[in-house]
Structure 1
Amino acid sequence: MTRIPSKAEILEWISQNPTQTSKRDIARAFGIKGAARIELKQLLRALAAEGHLEKRKKTYRDPETLPPVSVCEVVGPDADGDLSARPLEFHGSGPEPRIALVARDGDPALGAGERVLLRLTAVDGEDHAYEGRLIRRIGGGPDGGADGGPRTILGIFRSHSEGGRIVPIDKKQDLEWMIPEEATGGAQDGELVEARQSGPRNRMGLPRARVVARLGDPSQPRAVSLIAIHQHGIPDAFPAAVTQEAERAKPAGLSGREDLRGMPFVTIDPHDARDHDDACMAEPDTDPGNPGGHILWVAIADVAHYVRPGSALDAEALKRGNSTYFPDRVVPMLPDRLSGDLCSLHEDVPRACIAVRMVLDADGNKIAHRFVRGLMRSAASLHYEEVQAARDGTPSARTEPLMETVITPLYGAFEALRAARARRQPLDLELPERKIELDAEGRVASIAFRKRLDAHKMIEEFMILANVAAAEELITRRTPLLFRVHEEPTAEKLEALREVAQASGMTLAKGQVLQTRHLNALLAQAEATTFDELINMSTLRAMTQAYYSPENFGHFGLALRSYAHFTSPIRRYADLVVHRALVSAHGWGEGGLSAEEVAELEATAKHISETERRSMVAERDTNDRYLAAFLSERMGSEAVGRISGIQRFGLFVKLDETGADGLVPIGSISGEYWRHDAEAQTLTGSDSGLVLALGQKVTVRLAEATPETGGLVLQLLEIEGDPVAQGSGSRGRGSRRPGAGAPTRRKAVRAKAKADKTRKKVKRTRR
């Protein structure tokens, strides 16, 4: 009679032979044949039911171990610069085992977030459980899995008897994820969690995931930015080696620097600014050859002195790429010891800087500049409002002594630069910027428009000119650098803008090389009309996104041939690269651009352009969630806004008061069929002839607000003052109900004429 092995013997065999775990392998190992295979099958099923084994197709293995070939995600680098990996197919109840990546000659360079297929070898006596050798890369990043679905899920955990489900908080994802009982990680119902996909997704049923982090109560106000940080993979904790390196830094002395401490530099920032990385001063030019001219100084914190190439600080700064700003917190690029202390130009404290002295003529043209590495002392830390009040004739006790020597000369230089700007004609968009104000508990207290003072414009012009000087200096000295590039709009985007302008009764020059002055002429036509915000928004959408590059392609929006970021090295890695380039170009000693950095400039430019976009999306998503939380207490209230987007499934409305964007589902507008014209950006009712178009003024009712996702659903009540019939909500795009939503006869005729005009315009364009 064939002997059936015990459960312990089977588990021991599988642990020692991880590549031979099929039922056939186990039967062969123990000499099991014939009818005895049925008993073996029952025994394996019992082990799987008890959680000792996991069945994967026709094989069995210990769920606490990893298969010899496994799909993993690259993690790191750590403080020593080493990469590791985390398994994506681990189903055990304990912590995920750590995998040390062992690179071989010829292996490609890997980056954090990449998915790879690894051959794993278990090891003992190390701080990692496995060593992994690359078989092949299989793509990926923080947003995509092997089949195009997400690998990392952030959502609300909903428990049930067999584990739970995760409801994603990303409003673009509507697919729930199943969490087996052994993979919940102790998550409680309603808790915000981070989970990772476990194994490939099946065609049938919900995909499986494993909870890897519990993030707390999602209803807490300060969880909003935490959601964005985790969702977008923004590093928010400094490794110990980085913090220790920052803490060891000492203030720079005067050695090798020009002494600027006697000059009346001041910092001008928002009233709640924690750091001050730029200072300025101005004085009339006494050179007889430059009558009416100005001397303008801009001094920037010398971050390159403290953050050296190859250091732990540098690796972490590059990894982050930039600081990220949320209403309730900042995720900084550099530790506070630098960003809030040694690299912050605090009042009456000597600070290392790189400064540029610029000579302006009476018309605001820069006729000369000179860079120095210096030591300065800020005479005062001012904020925009008090500087503007002083300029307007009501100085405070702080600004009164600075009027003659500081504030008046600064505004004198600004007036000259403003005249030069008017001649240059950079793109002059006027889009209201809203600021979310939080109360002491972190809840939204108000949504306010940011005031745009001359003091803001003054500092902006000074920083732009300093950035231009940095780019020109490094070009002249033939030193590699990173340019800030903004290319002109594509022909397709320009044509779309032209169509919006024509539909609004305005014109945009055609048949000539586009310049910013042509767009400014369009913006001037729209000023003080009902189409003002629409034309500004449409012009902004027509623009390409700015990026960093070691090649100089100019800056279209600013109407500048050469432009580089120099003025914010505390919060942008690109500026740190420019500072290092200036150190190298002038031979100022240590802290310059290394040969390795020069060789990697293109890769660095691509990376920091991506981190910048990541931060922008995270900041926008956070604002959306705060706005949804704020509006969730106003359910059923009415608001006024304008149509800001048209899609086949509905229209987007930007609310005037808060700036929030909400969706009006097409099924909620009357019950007729709606024709979508993607080129003209319109929806036209088949029965009523009603045309929904960009820029129309609407009244809506707030129907739904979901703070977890930032989603708003609106109900359309009026268009340009005329009431709109309501759909049943169950009627689809193909449903018809004669007479539903029909406007007055005059409105119908006007709408039909507008639709006919749009169709003719589109027909001419297609020819």
Structure 2
Amino acid sequence: MAKPRTPKSSKFPAAAKPPAGLPDRETLLAFLRSAGESGKADIARHFGLKGADRRALREMLRELEAQGALGKRGRKGFAEAGSLPPVGVVDVVDRDADGDMFVKLTRADDDAPIVRLSPARNADAGGAPGMGDRLLVRFERLENGELEARLIKKLGQSAHKILGVIRKHRRETRVEPVDRKSKEVLVLTELDARDLKEGDLVLASVGSAAGRYGPKQGKVLEVVGSEDDPRAASLIAIHSHGIPVGFSEAAEAEAANAQPPTLQGRDDLRDLPFVTIDPVDARDHDDAVYAHPDPDAGNAGGWIVWVAIADVAAYVRPGSALDREAREKGNSVYFPDRVEPMLPEVLSNGLCSLREGENRATLAVRMVFDSAGRKKSHRFVRGLMRSAAKLSYEQAQAAIDGVIPPDGQDGDKAPPLLDPILKPLWAAFRLMGKGREIRSPLAIESDERKIVITREGEIASINRRASLEAHKLIEEMMIQANVSAAESLEAKRTPLIYRVHDTPSQEKVQNLAEFLATLEIKWNKGEAPQTSRFNKLLDETRDGPHAAIVNEVVLRTQMQAHYSADNLGHFGLNLAKYAHFTSPIRRYADLIVHRALIRALNLGTDGLTDQDVSQIKDTAETITYAERRAMAAERDATDRYIAAFLSDRVGATFNGRITGVTRFGLFVKLDETGADGLVPVSTLGQEFFVHDERMHALVGERTGKRWPLGLQVEVKLVEATPVTGGLLFEMITEPLPADPRAPRPRLGARRQAAVKPRGGLPKGVRRGKRR
């Protein structure tokens, strides 16, 4: 495989021009090597060729290309065969059985090598790539001599492949893209379309246009399902985002050969009455909890909190097929109708899951809290445990509240556990709440929805997720366990993967301050961002008319969390040290932290290896990329399911709130379902609306009437497209009147912007000759 070319100074400096005349073969190749790639006109200009020499150059280039010494780059460019530029635009053209993606230069002949893609090092790469995406990459050579393409930024859907749905017309068969942002419609030949049915979901390659105008021709590469399949939404998301599916035979065999745990090398924790508290439909159980008062007289009023986590490291060994595939998947991906797990089911739902009444291997942490809710100490134990009960959040909460459990749930399990297990857990949680209050983590409110799917794959309902005290109890205990893991590893100077959340940038805080000024809310622009200051703002506006919009803008001011080998702290939780330790069944980051603890604390021989340590930075980037990929796929699947749910309610009206303001329209989130849809700016009225970024509003150029972020509105559903997940609304609510404090609208701003500044002519107007 050819080595990527790095920019070099030309062999022929500008000050010393090369000898005039047709270059020989080696001189021409040396020039292309230094230039990276060049067109015929540039080559001729460089060597000072004219007339017959230019014709001879064309013949020479044609001959070198036929010999395989040169390769085409674009329509007119040439490069040395097999060479790669330092940075280039590529298409994702392949994916292997392990889920690794491969890319090729977009404008290149077959001589350009296909290179393995590595994740971006920056957080602004534009989301997780999938098959057919177009990317900007940097080509790098590794120590072992292999090439890799390091993702810089996702540029959008490639012209290489599209995922689409078959539409049959009288005269032709078309592939219409499922990506609502794509306008690429392909036409199939009669031969290709012969065995296809209306509504088939297909992966198709893009050819050239049959004529000068009209759609391009396509070739179907794979039929992945049907749009009539109730589960089509998740199928589309999986293929669109390149989610690795299933496991290799080697990984399945390793999982099948796993043995139940024994006491060898472990502490016996089976007498501790741990319980799991999870969603009612949870199939795997990563964590279990138990609490009791501290018997130490020196810690009066203190509590002991145990958090036991599935010991996945005992089954997924470094370098194994299970390990390689878990690393590539990065995490489990959750769709409304299915889960694409990080580990095979025999482990994720079996030996690694902390099932009620069954012996399970665990890595547990025992934490001591004082009467003020501060953690005094902790220690990790590798043990054998047995869960006393499997409870849902609703069951545990109902027992604590003394109410009848929700319909369809077993209400006999939780009440007997109330005094010996649940009340001590709640007492410890309320004590820990004192420390949480002092820490003051960010208190942004979220409105999460749950899509309930029937066995047939139909949507039964879309419900708002309840926020119970039981959720907060598990969350706080998991946070403290995660902190304990990071503290122990830092104390032992052991490399680890942190979960980091950077402080909001100065630019974002400045934008927040300017927006708050439009609401007459004070914010000191020079004030350093602090969670307590954000919480004070949220508390002051929570019961007022601007509560929703302030919550939304504060959320947008925050940075995005990610994984890193360097500790940047966690701003949202207001923690200096934080790592993910509590979900190793579904997150690879947690498995690495487990291995690090095993190595640092001498808890076994299956801890972090030297190879794990050497690639820990790359692992952090890989799993961050996988997390973004999973989030995008889950979001797209949810959008499609909701569009299908609302497709028979076109024409109905809904209440909602403006959650996005752009120059092309308003995004509205419906109160009933949480669905997001667009109100195009062209449908808002007769006048031209300008996007005021400072006020987060569309403002009428003539009247000053406005549509601000956070405004409660009523809309009519005009269109719902399940295959793309798109919803189109029509605004019914009238806009707010002009803001008397805002500057008067500048009439004609659009027309003025279309004319060149003084000193030039409008675009497209040519100056005539003098006579």
Question: 736, 743, 753: which one pairs with 1:756?
Answer: 743
Secondary structure in structure 2 of the residue aligned to 1:390: helix
Conservation of the 8 A alpha-carbon contact between 1:482 and 1:601: yes
Conservation of the 8 A alpha-carbon contact between 1:185 and 1:212: no
Q: 1:335 to 1:757 in 2, by over 3 A?
A: farther
Cα deviation 1:242-299 (Å, max 9, x = unaligned): 1111111111211000110111111111111111110010000010100000000000
* CA-CA distance at 1:237 after TM superposition: 1.8
Conservation of the 8 A alpha-carbon contact between 1:307 and 1:591: no
Conservation of the 8 A alpha-carbon contact between 1:547 and 1:609: yes
2:454 maps to 1:422: no
Cα deviation 1:328-359 (Å, max 9, x = unaligned): 11111000000000000001100000000000
Q: 1:150 to 1:346 in 2, by over 3 A?
A: farther
* Structure with larger RCO (C-alpha < 8 A, sep 6+): 2
Alignment of 1:451-530 (within 5 A): 451-530=466-545
Question: 163, 166, 172: which one pairs with 1:157?
Answer: 166
Q: Which residue of 2 aligns with 1:688?
A: 703
Conservation of the 8 A alpha-carbon contact between 1:353 and 1:375: yes
Q: 1:185 to 1:227 in 2, by over 3 A?
A: farther
Q: 1:679 to 1:162 in 2, by over 3 A?
A: same
Q: Which residue of 1 aligns with 2:177?
A: 168
Question: 695, 703, 727: which one pairs with 1:712?
Answer: 727
Q: 1:593 to 1:77 in 2, by over 3 A?
A: farther
Secondary structure in structure 2 of the residue aligned to 1:645: strand
Conservation of the 8 A alpha-carbon contact between 1:431 and 1:533: no
Question: 609, 626, 629: which one pairs with 1:594?
Answer: 609
TM-score by length of 1: 0.77
Separation in 2, partners of 1:69, 1:510: 51
Alignment of 1:601-616 (within 5 A): 601-616=616-631
Question: 378, 385, 391: which one pairs with 1:376?
Answer: 385
2:273 maps to 1:264: yes
Conservation of the 8 A alpha-carbon contact between 2:186 and 2:218: yes
2:637 maps to 1:638: no
One-letter amino acid of the structure 2 residue matched with residue 699 of structure 1? E
Alignment of 1:168-207 (within 5 A): 168-184=177-193, 186-198=195-207, 205-207=214-216
Q: 1:78 to 1:173 in 2, by over 3 A?
A: closer
Secondary structure in structure 2 of the residue aligned to 1:679: coil
Question: 198, 210, 217: which one pairs with 2:219?
Answer: 210
2:581 maps to 1:566: yes
Separation in 2, partners of 1:566, 1:461: 13
Conservation of the 8 A alpha-carbon contact between 2:134 and 2:154: no
Separation in 1, partners of 2:166, 2:83: 31
Q: 1:85 to 1:432 in 2, by over 3 A?
A: closer
Cα deviation 1:470-509 (Å, max 9, x = unaligned): 0000000111100000001112222222233333332334
Separation in 1, partners of 2:101, 2:180: 32
Alignment of 1:331-410 (within 5 A): 331-394=340-403, 396-410=411-425
Q: Which residue of 1 aligns with 2:252?
A: 243
* CA-CA distance at 1:649 after TM superposition: 1.3
Conservation of the 8 A alpha-carbon contact between 1:257 and 1:374: yes
Separation in 2, partners of 1:709, 1:76: 24
Cα deviation 1:41-96 (Å, max 9, x = unaligned): xxxxxxxxxxxxxxxx99xxxxxxxx9999996645547x999999999xxxxxxx
Identical-pair percentage: 48
Q: 1:83 to 1:664 in 2, by over 3 A?
A: closer
Cα deviation 1:391-436 (Å, max 9, x = unaligned): 1134843223322221111011100111111111000011221111
Separation in 2, partners of 1:544, 1:237: 33
Question: 693, 697, 722: which one pairs with 1:678?
Answer: 693
Alignment of 1:642-681 (within 5 A): 642-681=657-696
Separation in 1, partners of 2:391, 2:560: 33
Q: Which residue of 1 aligns with 2:292?
A: 283
Secondary structure in structure 2 of the residue aligned to 1:756: coil
Q: 1:185 to 1:341 in 2, by over 3 A?
A: farther
Q: 1:634 to 1:72 in 2, by over 3 A?
A: closer
2:239 maps to 1:224: no
Q: Which residue of 2 aligns with 1:445?
A: 460
Cα deviation 1:659-691 (Å, max 9, x = unaligned): 111111111112112222233322221333211
Cα deviation 1:104-143 (Å, max 9, x = unaligned): xxx9887996999xxxxxxxxxxxxxxxxx9998888997
Separation in 2, partners of 1:330, 1:287: 45
One-letter amino acid of the structure 1 residue matched with residue 608 of structure 2? L
Cα deviation 1:688-714 (Å, max 9, x = unaligned): 321121111211111111111111111
Separation in 1, partners of 2:82, 2:536: 66
* CA-CA distance at 1:752 after TM superposition: 4.1
One-letter amino acid of the structure 2 residue matched with residue 236 of structure 1? V
* CA-CA distance at 1:175 after TM superposition: 2.1
Q: What RMSD over aligned residues (CA atoms) do the two structures have, in Å?
A: 3.4
Separation in 2, partners of 1:384, 1:674: 47
Q: Which residue of 2 aligns with 1:306?
A: 315
Q: Which residue of 2 aligns with 1:765?
A: none
One-letter amino acid of the structure 2 residue matched with residue 237 of structure 1? G
One-letter amino acid of the structure 1 residue matched with residue 489 of structure 2? L
2:448 maps to 1:433: yes
One-letter amino acid of the structure 2 residue matched with residue 753 of structure 1? P
How many residue pairs get matched?
635
Q: 1:657 to 1:590 in 2, by over 3 A?
A: same
* CA-CA distance at 1:176 after TM superposition: 1.4
Which runs of 5 or more residues in structure 2 are unaligned? 1-73, 76-80, 85-89, 120-129, 136-144, 405-410, 747-771
Secondary structure in structure 1 of the residue aligned to 2:259: coil
Which runs of 5 or more residues in structure 1 are unaligned? 1-56, 59-66, 90-98, 117-133, 725-746, 760-767
Conservation of the 8 A alpha-carbon contact between 1:142 and 1:233: no
One-letter amino acid of the structure 2 residue matched with residue 493 of structure 1? K
Q: 1:135 to 1:245 in 2, by over 3 A?
A: closer
Separation in 1, partners of 2:415, 2:396: 10
Separation in 2, partners of 1:108, 1:439: 40
Separation in 2, partners of 1:309, 1:136: 24
Conservation of the 8 A alpha-carbon contact between 1:646 and 1:652: yes
Cα deviation 1:580-619 (Å, max 9, x = unaligned): 0011112222321111111111111011001101111111
Separation in 2, partners of 1:402, 1:665: 55
Q: 1:300 to 1:686 in 2, by over 3 A?
A: same
Q: 1:77 to 1:254 in 2, by over 3 A?
A: farther
Q: 1:357 to 1:574 in 2, by over 3 A?
A: same
Secondary structure in structure 1 of the residue aligned to 2:325: helix
One-letter amino acid of the structure 2 residue matched with residue 715 of structure 1? E
TM-score by length of 2: 0.76
Conservation of the 8 A alpha-carbon contact between 1:115 and 1:137: no
Separation in 1, partners of 2:430, 2:638: 35
Separation in 2, partners of 1:110, 1:270: 35
Secondary structure in structure 2 of the residue aligned to 1:680: coil
Conservation of the 8 A alpha-carbon contact between 1:143 and 1:152: no
2:556 maps to 1:541: yes
